[in-house]
Amino acid sequence: MRVVIAEDLALLRDGLIRLLEAFQFEVVEAVDNGPSLLRALTTHRPDVAVVDVRLPPTFTDEGLRAALEARKEIPGLPVLVLSQHVEQLYARELLSDSSGGIGYLLKDRVSDVSQFVDAVRRVAGGGTALDPDVVAQLLTRRAREEPLQTLTPREREVLGLMAEGRSNAAIAGKLFITEKAISKHTNNIFSKLNLQPAEGDNRRVLAVLAYLNT
């Protein structure tokens, strides 16, 4: 799988390259600023990009903007954005084109290597990987509203994991219950939230995120 990495701190950039190569990713280019990221993404068209939000030359949200720009040119280009802090504002912008292949994680999550690699693969496959912090913020924001109040604690737990972008199988594994039980929970969630039932893990995630994001 071909990856482009954008990270301005050499220490972290080398760490990411080493980590991803250890899991059989092919790092086609690693850049350290916004303009070269945009160029790398449009010329290499990688299977997935791992991008730091804050990059030179402005040290603001250069990386995020380059990634959004590239996705305008190459719709659905899978991008996993890493940051020292997560903002709902940025999550919205990333998810706004609702074409999938988006990840948005805190940099700390890299330390859980297998989870991180799983997230990269999920995003490369057109899936979603949203940081638990973002999901928690989304849920708190809507927590007062009626539809969410009617969910059981277990259903809320499943909703949270679903919003992070995990598949039924992954949620089942994490909660130590069967996949069948999970699909029962997800059906309940969809009817309680008044959402159209959607086929496939990824489309379901997008439906849930669209609901939480409004």
Partner 1 sequence: MNDRDDSGAPEGLIYRWFLSGVRGLVQVVLSQAVNIPLFVLSVVSFALIPIGVGVFLLPPVLLALRALANQQRAWSAAWSGVAIPVPYRPEPPSSANPFRRLKWLLTDPATWRDVLWTLVNVPVGLLLGLLPAALVVYGVEGVLVAPWVAMIADYGWGPFWPLSEWGAVGIVGSIVGGVALTAAGLQLGPRLLRAHALFNRSLLSPTRTALEQRVQELTETRSETVDASAAELRRIERDLHDGAQARLVALSMNIGLAEQLMKFDPEAAQKLLVEAREASGTALTELRDLVRGIHPPVLAERGLDGGVRALALSLPLPVDVEIDLPGRPEAPVESAAYFAVAEMLANIAKHSGAQRAWIDIHHANGALKMIVGDDGLGGADLDAGSGMRGIERRLAAFDGTMVVTSPQGGPTVVTMELPCALSSPRTLPSSGTD
Residues of the shown chain interacting with partner 1 in the complex, contacts defined by CB under 8 A: 53-54, 59-61, 65, 68, 83-85, 87-90, 92-93, 96, 106-108, 111-112, 137, 140-141, 143-144
Could you tell me the smallest distance in angstroms from the CB atom of residue 167 to partner 1?
25
**Cα 54-126-156 angle, rounded to 5 deg:** 85
Could you tell me the smallest distance in angstroms from the CB atom of residue 214 to partner 1?
10
Could you tell me the smallest distance in angstroms from the CB atom of residue 144 to partner 1?
6
**Quick one: 42 or 88, whose CB is closer to partner 1?**
88
Give the contacts of 114 (CB within 8 A, at least 6 positions apart): none
Could you tell me the smallest distance in angstroms from the CB atom of residue 142 to partner 1?
8
**Quick one: 53 or 102, whose CB is closer to partner 1?**
53
Give the contacts of 28 (CB within 8 A, at least 6 positions apart): 2, 3, 4, 40, 44, 46
Could you tell me the smallest distance in angstroms from the CB atom of residue 51 to partner 1?
14
The answer to whether 63 and 53 are in contact (CB under 8 A) is yes
Place of tokens 């969630």: 189
Q: What is the CA radius of gyration of the chain?
A: 17
The answer to whether 51 and 76 are in contact (CB under 8 A) is no
**Quick one: 54 or 204, whose CB is closer to partner 1?**
54
**Quick one: 1 or 139, whose CB is closer to partner 1?**
139
Could you tell me the smallest distance in angstroms from the CB atom of residue 205 to partner 1?
19
**Quick one: 10 or 143, whose CB is closer to partner 1?**
143
**Quick one: 118 or 179, whose CB is closer to partner 1?**
118
